[in-house]
Structure 1
């Protein structure tokens, strides 16, 4: 009997969670370590701000999913790995043994420098922070701040602006977008998003970078000071430090270095997926679609590693469908060179997201394995 430990219950681990009964049937023990009983789906996160979705629409009950499948769920935080003795350290539960380990620990947003009230400053990770941010906004708040000029910052500012204008709230949003707003996207995409923000109580500060955050004001590198009552940080994310601290091979950004089988370099008993990994042979953007696609490969490879079978390579697609949620049930779709804005792109995204959620939520309710094919 071998023991599989899943460190984290993110997108890449969902197929494993719904197939725990198969691991148990084959005689293996499965332990899942998660910081919370629920895992939130990042694709629906911005809709928490606009009110399109309620928290229960956007989350999986990973604790129940694990226990119903015959696994053990440990609500705790992973704080260390000892690859030599094959143990995972947790904040409150001590050391947990493994034969095979899979890490899906996500990433975190680095806090800026400066002295600020941490109860007024939120990060986009974990995703449930978006709901907490919205519920924290007071009627007396006038200045809301979003920091980050990527897709996440754009979606968050747009949905927050829609909620403010639709609720009659007198606050506005300042979006600090960095050197170039939506730098990884074509100019046509950027201009469409800018037009959307212009129609909302959102002030875009393109070409501006945050220098530091003080109590009640954001200081930009240009010297401009912006007042704020609440701030939401959607800047770049970094993997957890525990891989480097465990002397495991890491990429330049600290992510667990893996091969094409999602297997740690020099440690064949350790696997990983999602934001916490880096590939040895390629750079791959940290977007949710890749974590979701890694899930079925991880499922096959973890079973193979436990039973001495051949591994399956992960082959990321070169192109993937991207749809921005811009609030008010408006979307912006990009597929290759095609761009399409309006309500239909939002409805396409909404259908895809809800189908994905219902598929895994249904597995948790019925305890029926989810097909990985």
Structure 2
């Protein structure tokens, strides 16, 4: 995470996770610029390395071997990682417009979003073809195609449109993998037919004649039919047509043609070339705006047209990182000079490759081994982050700020007042509140619409108030997402008791700094929270804000329930023969402890964040509808700690099946490595309530009984006869890992109340 002791003076925003940007992130991680914060905005956590994708398709590499973990890399660099889609720019306000969150301000901006095949230019291609680009989303499309082909009975015809190096290499990789898959299933690999469509007379038109002849030979040997000067003009269900009238019946069409640009770039006002790519100077600075840079496939260099090849994006990374740094320091920028000739190592499906560089040609298994060594060396730069983190800490040296920036930093870090002097400024708060639009309720008589010293809220006749409060500091560098999670966490107690959320007051702490940076943090955080509150009809009616060392957020929530307590769910109330149901998976604490140590995969963190951002409101309604007899939300005390509270209040015993505990991906691995949350040790005290700790202590799920959760799921007891229907309904509502984790037994005065089963009992049907 960002160093809390450092005042943010400037923001560099990186849009996209391409090859150039991964280099920028790493370099800023190794040598940060004091006062400068990086924010990475990308739709995906795992970004593929294009040079190894054909090897992945062919089956030579596993998924993680060919993907760079952007979230982990950002954590290493102290950069914020926003998983969102960029849809435009507001250059006047210096803001990046995102699909789900408020605009993100920038002082310098860099765009590295790659390209995509121009499927929209050919009738039917968007609907019926499988595009290779954007490569960040290729894996899901490839796995779906692989599954379809393996399930397809009889002969399968696959057409690949595009006969450059990418199209030829992908054709041979797919053929190699699919033939192997069919053989493993005892099917005839010759039932596969591949057709390669070239718009020009030659395949690999940008490579020398000897390279072309090598691949012509290989394609002939492998039985791939090459269609030359065959520009595809239309694709329909099961068929494609060329401009010359040739047609082919094809079960699958894969599109690897000339790349196109993202459509949102057209509305930015940036100068674009004829194909829609951003025009940049040799410094990688855009022609239109000195504050914006671009690199990789999405950029077009003035006076030097370049092939859309990953080698250029990789080579641009060091210059881009240096120029972003120099631009903020107002120093002369470096010029990037692309090489006139570059080495291409193109595989032939198996562990054999062809080397091409200008007029040079070589081929053999040794070329593939060479390519493999180069690719693995490149990926190691972004995978072996733990030793790099130690090296970075020892090498980081401050870069002098200019006089104005030094003054701003000194002012922001000056001794801060306490008490009311720590409040945020009224003008700043007014601007933020004007941008927020919390839901309005008729029972809110005085709230944020006309703020006063306090809110006044009517309690409807026949209703009683339910009060709760929660507050904690941020554990992620995304204030918008943190706001959503904090709101969900605070609402959990209301829903666990079967109440309706009515109003909320916020308690906010923001680190000191420049006013505009504080304003952005506050706006992002409260926007995320209000979206959650609005969804459940809870009106934000006021709050308190102040400065502190960490970003933190909490809410005092008022809820409503029938004054006769009809429908209230309490921790007590479990009855023998009830079934224990848990709505969400556990493992949040160990995963984020591992993330802080660079020991967690980004996609594990993605899943954990998605679970924390999921509201408990639908789950609570479902549990009530299926006759829940007791309920609580699982948070800081961990599953066992909260279960102990329920058992004590209900005066029963319970049996927990460790096998049945729903667990977040990666949590078993991180807890087995001894990585636990700071609260884990305190939660271990609940072991004394276990009847047989030795029975489960060796089970991989055992440590997760004590793992503290944030915005965790609901733990409820459900009558046996309704448990299966309840679980089906929960899963239909999106609680994919909702599970039956045990059963309620009569109290045993001579034994501890909680019994562990290492293996699940056979579940009686209900």
Task: Give TM class, smaller chain.
Answer: over 0.9
* Aligned with 2:335 (options 297, 308, 313): 313
Q: Call closer, same or farther: CA 1:369–1:224 in 2, change over 3 Å.
A: farther
Match of 1:86 in 2: 94
Find the counterpart in structure 2 of residue 71 from structure 1.
79
1:347 matched to 2:349? The reply is no
Is residue 152 of structure 2 the alignment partner of residue 140 of structure 1? yes
User: By how many angstroms is 1:115 displaced?
Assistant: 4.1
Contact 2:279 2:300 in 1 (8 A): yes
Could you say if the C-alpha distance between residues 108 and 309 of structure 1 is closer, same or farther in structure 2, counting changes exceeding 3 Å?
same
- SS of 1:138's equivalent in the other structure is helix
Q: CA deviation at 1:137?
A: 2.6
Q: Determine if contact 2:76/2:385 at 8 Å carries over to the other structure.
A: no
Secondary structure of the corresponding residue to residue 334 of structure 1: strand
Whether the aligned pair in 1 keeps the contact of 2:146 and 2:178 (CA below 8 Å) is no
Which is helix-richer, 1 or 2? 2
Deviations 1:32-62 (A, max 9, x none): 0011011100011111221112211100010
> Which deviations, in whole Å up to 9, do the C-alpha atoms of 1:189-215 show, x marking residues without a partner?
212101111121421112211110000
| Counterpart selection for 2:194 from 173, 181, 187 | 173
Q: Which moved more, 1:274-283 or 1:218-227?
A: 218-227
Distance (whole Å) between structure 2 residues aligned to residue 328 and residue 102 of structure 1? 38
> Superposed, which structure 2 residues align to 1:186-205 within 5 Å?
186-205=208-227
The 8 Å contact of residues 238 and 253 in structure 1, kept in 2 or not, is answered as: yes
Matched, 1:129 2:143: no
CA distance in 1, matches of 2:166, 2:111: 24
Q: How far, CA to CA, are the matches of 1:365 and 1:206 in structure 2?
A: 51
- Give the match for residue 150 of structure 1: 164
- Equivalent residues in 2 for 1:199-278, closer than 5 Å: 199-278=221-300
Do residues 97 (structure 1) and 105 (structure 2) align? yes
Equivalent residue, structure 1, for 2:122: 113
Q: State how far apart, in whole Å, the 1-side matches of 2:162 and 2:242 are.
A: 13
For residue 365 of structure 1, report the CA deviation from its aligned partner. 7.6
8 Å Cα contact 1:18/1:364 also seen in 2: no
Is residue 182 from structure 1 mapped to residue 192 from structure 2 by the alignment? no
- State the alpha-carbon separation in 1 of the partners of residues 34 and 95 from structure 2: 22
Cα distance, 1:136 vs structure 2: 4.1
Q: What SS is found at the alignment partner of 1:184?
A: coil
- Relative to 1, partners in 2 of residues 1:268 and 1:22: Cα closer, same or farther, differing over 3 Å? farther
Q: Could you say if the C-alpha distance between residues 140 and 21 of structure 1 is closer, same or farther in structure 2, counting changes exceeding 3 Å?
A: closer
- Work out whether residues 251 and 280 of structure 1, in 8 Å CA contact, stay in contact via their aligned partners in 2: no
State the SS of the aligned residue for 2:355.
Answer: strand
1:320-339 to structure 2, matched below 5 A, reads: 320-339=342-361
TM-score by length of 1: 0.93
Is the contact made by 2:73 and 2:382 (CA closer than 8 Å) also made in structure 1? no
Q: Give the aligned length.
A: 370
Query: What RMSD over aligned residues (CA atoms) do the two structures have, in Å?
Result: 2.1
Structure 2 matches for 1:285-300, cutoff 5 A? 285-300=307-322
Task: Return the TM-score normalized by structure 2.
Answer: 0.46
Rg larger for: 2
For the residues of structure 2 that align with 1:307 and 1:288, how far apart are their CA atoms?
29
Q: Residue 161 in 1 paired to residue 175 in 2?
A: yes
What SS does structure 1 have at the residue aligned with 2:173? Answer: helix
Q: Distance in 1 between matches of 2:334 and 2:109?
A: 17
Residues 258-300 of structure 1, C-alpha deviations (whole Å, 9 max, x = no match): 1110001131111110001111222111111110000000010
- The answer on whether the counterparts of 2:20 and 2:317 sit within 8 Å (CA) in structure 1 is yes
Could you tell me how far apart the structure 1 residues matched to 2:210 and 2:176 are?
22
Answer with 181-190 or 328-337: which moved more.
181-190
SS, match of residue 300 in structure 1: helix
Does residue 41 of structure 2 align to residue 33 of structure 1? yes
1:334-367: CA deviations, max 9, x gaps? Answer: 1332211111111111111111011211137853
Give the Cα separation in 2 of the matches to 1:62 and 1:140: 36
Q: Which moved more, 1:356-365 or 1:342-351?
A: 356-365
SS, match of residue 159 in structure 2? strand
Q: Secondary structure at the match of 2:384?
A: helix
Partner of 1:361 in structure 2? 383
